[in-house]
Amino acid sequence: MSETLIKKIKNRNAKICVLGLGYIGLPTAAMFATNGFQVQGVDIDQDVVHTLNNGDLPIQEPGLKTVVQAAYKSGNLCVDCQVEPADVFIIAVPTPITEEKKANLDYVTSAARSIQPNLERNNLVILESTSPPRTTVDVIKPILEDSDLTAGEDFFLAYSPERVLPGKILKELVDNSRVIGGINQTSAELGKELYSSFVEGEIVMTDATTAEMVKLMENTYRDINIAIANEFSRLGEYFGINIWEAIEIANRHPRVDILNPGPGVGGHCISVDPWFLVENVPDLTPLIQQAREVNDSQPEYIVNKLAEELGGLKGKKIATLGITYKADVDDIRESPALDVINNLVNKGAEVKIYDPYVQHVDGVGEKLHDNLKGTLSGAECILLLVDHEQFKDIDVQRIASFVEERIVFDTRHVLQRDKWEAEGFNVLTLGVRD
Ligand code: SAJ
C-alpha cells in the first residue's frame, strides 16, 4: 500500500497540495516545486492567489521571491483557491489565539474538511500548523476519516512543525533538523521520505502528539528564557548595574545562555504557542503563565520608565524607531512595539513612528512617517523599540540636527552609546542604571 506512495515520492512523481501560502506554506510549496514535485498551492485569500500569480509576494522574506519565481518558471507550481486531488496534502494554515488565550483551530479544521472529499487511498496528509497536543489524532483524523478510509491503513497522517526563524526561513527550512510525528510508523516513514527531498538537517521520527508537544516546548522554553532576561533587566536598574554586561559575563559559564531583554515578546509564535500548553491544564502550568505575564507586562514597564524620565507623558513628543515585532522583518503581529506605542498614546503622548519595513499600520495611520526627519522633528525623546540593522549605525549627527531635546531610550541595547553621548544625548538603556 505505502510502497506505491514511497515510490512516487522517491521519483518525484507525487503531486503535493499545500494549503495556506503564508510565511511557512509559501516557502514550503516553492521548496518542493524547485525540488521536482508538481505542487498546487492553495489559499482561501484570493488576494494572495492574485498577488502570487501576478509574480509578486504577499509577504516579505529574504530570497523568497527568487525561489517562488523559480518554482513558477519550472512549471511545477500552480496557485489557486480550490483543493484538488493529490498524493500529499500539507496543511500550513494559521492557528491564531482567541481572546480567552485558546487555540483557534477553525482554519486547520476547515483545511482538513477541504481535503476530505479529495482524499484517496495511499494519500499522505501532514499538519504543519502549530497546534495544541492531540490535535492531529483527536481533531484532524476524525475529519479525514469521515469516509470509508481508515487513517494509518488506507491513508497516512502525520504532524511535522516548521521551526524556521522568520528572516532566515529558506536557509533554516533546509538546514534545521525536522521532526515527523506519524499516527503510525508508516505515516512517519512516508513523511520522512517526503521532507528528505530537500531537508538536509536530521529528520527525527516520533508519534504525532509528541511532535506537537516538541514544537510547543521549543517556543515555550524560549518565552520563559526571554522572561527571565526581562526580569533581570528590571533588577539591573534596581541594583544600579549594566545588565547587558552582567548577562554577557554570566553567559561565559559553559552551561548558561541568558537571552536578551527587550520591550516585550511579539510575533505569532513565541507569544502565542505557550498558551496552547496552558489552555487545557492551567493548574499544571503556573511557570508558563507567569513567564507570559512578565513578557506581556514589559511594554508597560518601558512606558513607566519613560514617564519617570520625562516627568510624565501627557503632551510629550516621542519619536519611536521601529514598530515590527523584531528586527529586520515587516511583521507587526503581536508586536510589543505596538503595545508600547498604544500605551504612550493612551497616556497622552504625541507619538510619531518610523519603521523602514512598514509603510502602513491600521490604527496608527498619521503617526507613521516614511522618513526619519519627519518622525524626529520636534521630538522631546527618541525611543528605539526594534533593533533593525539600519538603526545600529545610524548617522547620529544627522539625527541630532533634527531634534532639540537630546534624550534617547534604547530598549534593545544596540545604539553606540559613545557616539550618541558625543552629540549631547542623554542615553537611557533598558536594564542599565549607572
Ligand atoms: N526576543 C527577545 N529577546 C531575545 C529573543 C527574542 O526579546 O533574546 C523577542 C523578539 O524581539 C520577538 C520575540 O521575542 O519580539 C520572538 O522573537 P524570536 O526571534 O525568538 O521568535 P520568532 O517568533 O521569530 O521565531 C520563533 C523561533 N523559535 C525558536 O527560536 C525556539 C522559530 O524557530 C520558530 O519556527 C518560530 O518561533 C515559530 O514559527 O514557531
What's the pLDDT tens digit per position in 282-299? Answer: 999 999 999 999 999 999
CA dihedral 192, 215, 108, 71 (to 10 degrees): -50
- Given a contact cutoff of 8 angstroms between Cβ atoms, the answer to whether 223 and 420 are in contact is no
- Given a contact cutoff of 8 angstroms between Cβ atoms, the answer to whether 328 and 356 are in contact is no
Pocket test for ligand 1, best of 131, 170, 171, 222 (most atoms within 8 A of CB): 222
Q: Each residue of 33-64: pLDDT tens digit?
A: 999 999 999 999 999 999 999 999 998 889 99
- Given a contact cutoff of 8 angstroms between Cβ atoms, the answer to whether 316 and 310 are in contact is yes
- Given a contact cutoff of 8 angstroms between Cβ atoms, the answer to whether 265 and 223 are in contact is yes
- Given a contact cutoff of 8 angstroms between Cβ atoms, the answer to whether 195 and 126 are in contact is no
Task: Using the atom order of ligand 1, give the atom closest to the CA of residue 336.
Answer: 15
What is the average pLDDT across 135-143?
A: 98
Look up cell 547587558; give the residue. 244
Q: What is the distance in A from the centroid of ligand 1 to the CA of 165?
A: 7
CB contact set of 21 (below 8 Å; sequence gap of 6+):
29, 41, 42, 43, 48, 49, 52, 58, 79, 92
Residue list, ligand 1 pocket, CB within 6 Å: 130, 162-166, 218-219, 222, 226, 259-260, 262, 265-267, 269-270, 325-326, 336
Here the cell at position 128 is 504543519
CB contact set of 122 (below 8 Å; sequence gap of 6+):
1, 2, 4, 5, 87, 154, 155
Say whether 215 is catalytic. Answer: yes
pLDDT, the chain, mean: 96
Nearest residue by C-alpha to atom 21 in ligand 1: 270
Q: Check 141, 192, 215, 316 and give the catalytic one.
A: 215
Quickly count helices (H) and strands (E) in the chain. Answer: 18, 14
Q: What is the structure's pLDDT at 369?
A: 87
**Of 54, 51, 110, 40, residue with least CA distance to 82:** 40
Residue 188 scores a pLDDT above 70: yes
Distance of alpha carbon 179 from alpha carbon 163, whole angstroms:
9
Q: What is the structure's pLDDT at 421?
A: 97
Pocket test for ligand 1, best of 26, 160, 269 (most atoms within 8 A of CB): 269
List, edge to edge, every strand of the sheet that includes 426-429: 368-369, 350-354, 317-321, 381-384, 407-410, 426-429
Q: Each residue of 400-417: pLDDT tens digit?
A: 999 989 999 999 999 999
Distance of alpha carbon 300 from alpha carbon 145, whole angstroms:
48
Q: How confident is the model at residue 167 (pLDDT cuts 50, 70, 90)?
A: confident
